[in-house]
Structure 1
Amino acid sequence: MVIAALVACSAPGDDDLDDGPSEPTRKALSFAAVEDLGPACEDIEGGYPDAPEYVGDGPHPMAVLVNEFDTDVQFNDPDYREWKLMNNVSTGDPLDKPDSPSEVTLLACGFTRPGDDLIDKCSYKAPLGLTASIEYPLYNKHYTMVVYELHTGREVARAELDARFRQSTPTCPFTVEGNFEKIYARSLNLHLYEPFRDLVTEPAT
């Protein structure tokens, strides 16, 4: 116990003095396209200083990416999961896809997980040689949408949504592949980022 006390009371300036946690590393904005910004959702701490600051009047361009899956097998397969861009393109809406990563001020990241609620069934054409269609249960899906200031990595807003947000019966995925038991509903793209419209169009908060 005496030795421990002596070590703990080392004089300031000692070479072994702990200077506290290091500052997060601020990273270069080296993404080729807006569609490639998904990894920034997983490495946002410290921000990307090349991105515009979230200050002043809008609009503040926002990229929206979601880590999507359609089936139980896809959810459990880390090689399948990928970030998908949700923004519309060239409709004239302030929430359209920004032209380049260097224009992105806000980064909205959708982190998904399976829901337990059975909400419908999905019917698909059977493979060649079979006449009957195949039905699969359609389950709800949860989305945690988090908006960051890309320049600093600061969280600006978040919302807990699910595939039934603003639509009572979500549509089935257009196509599905592989062996699986459950299908999970997708929210319409617009429903995932519409709650954050004011962050884009109004003065920065």
Structure 2
Amino acid sequence: MYLIGLTGGIASGKSTVAKRLAFWGAVGIDADQLAREVVEPGTPGLAAIAAEFGDTILLPDGTLNRPALGAIIFSDASRRERLNAITHPAVRRLTRDRVAAAGAADPHVIVVYDVPLLAEAVAGGLVSFDLIVVVHADAVTRIERMVELRGLTREEATHRIAAQASDADRLALADVVIDNDGTLEATLAQVDDLWTRVRADEARMVEETDGTRTP
């Protein structure tokens, strides 16, 4: 199995890159989706969040009121840390399960783990990545995207960027940087080049593992 860690700041365009890699045949695992699963109604995660933040973060149907919770955690770092302490262990367990399942289904699969907090995943020994890809767009571009596409105010968008790792921290981990400040076509061309590299790397790993590589 070949495992790619894919990260980038909010509104950097990670989803675009992940979808293109899936188009070429990669199996995607989305940390944000896993984070939603661990707080579904009836889960220990949601019960713990309600106990910590109060029932006002629940909608009438018992699901999580994400905008209400977001308003709390993106303006208060200590409350954000409390939320992370509840959700991150559950997401880590689920991530390990999904990666293991993908590898069991196909030993030569290329898996893309799309995760905002990749630095934490690396430091915590969550998984061992064969390649780390960072999608990068400058803060001005990302704020504009959040305002235009997500309906946030500039202040809200700025808070969300400040709540994440810095660009410097992310770029320090990168084996490959995808520049997403330009056109969609330019971004997709970079991803296509990346896929060619990954396929070559994966084939080389198979040869080495099988002992078929010529000395």
TM-score range, shorter chain: under 0.3
* Higher RCO (C-alpha under 8 Å, 6+ residues apart): 2
TM-score by length of structure 1 reads: 0.26
TM-score by length of 2: 0.26
Higher strand share: 1
Greater helix fraction, Structure 1 or Structure 2: 2
